[in-house]
Amino acid sequence: MSLLLSKVGTPVAYLPAGAELEIDLRLESVHEGILATGEVFGTGIAECSRCLDEIKLEIEVDFQELFAYSSSSDDELVVDGEHIDLEQVVIDSVVLSLPFQPVCSQDCLGLCAECGSKLNENPGHEHEKPIDSRFEALKDLLSKEE
């Protein structure tokens, strides 16, 4: 079974609109209703929280939900005639599995705090040390001599 979704997730990690998810699903009739057990497979997109590069996320999530024949509260999922709606169950399980701070690799160096250049591309990146404000007047004397 497959499902097409609109964009879901967070600004940092999400499934793009039109992303196709594969669902391996098992439905069981139980006394209270229908028990849906399954696995969701797909590919999401994330932005590395250190260097801001785009990352492909392989998504593999398990879920299990009971769809009741009769609702005793507004929070319960119910069987509607002979149908159940898995969309919200799948969205909830996928979004909860997305990382809060995705990284492209565990040793990602991130961005330079001063200029924003990627430290992975230039690990020896350095800036001149700022002049101590107490010696700022001496710098002005050097420029007058030249």
Q: Is residue 146 located within the same domain as residue 87?
A: no
Nearest Cα to Cα of residue 118 among 44, 48, 46, 14? 48
From 24, 37, 20, 14, select the one nearest 94 (Cα to Cα): 14
Together in a domain, 61 and 32: yes
Query: How confident is the model at residue 81, as a pLDDT?
Result: 80
CA distance 145 to 77: 81
Same domain, 49 and 75: yes
What residue numbers bound the domain in which 123 lies?
A: 109-146
Instruction: Identify the DSSP state of 133.
Output: G
Number of domains the chain is built from? 2
Shared domain for 99 and 126, answered yes or no, is: no
| pLDDT (0 to 100) of residue 75 | 65
Q: What is the pLDDT of residues 82-93, one digit of tens each?
A: 788 888 899 999
Residues 12 and 61 in one domain: yes
Q: In the numeric block, which tokens belong to residue 28?
A: 């069981």
The pTM score is 0.71
Q: Which is more confidently placed, 1 or 56?
A: 56
Q: Are residues 74 and 124 in the same domain?
A: no
Same structural domain, 8 and 68: yes
Confidence of residue 42 (pLDDT cuts 50, 70, 90): very high
Q: Are residues 46 and 103 in the same domain?
A: yes
Strands 13-15 and 33-47, bridge-based pairing: antiparallel
Shared-domain flag, residues 97 and 141? no
- Asked whether residue 99 falls in the same domain as residue 131, the answer is no
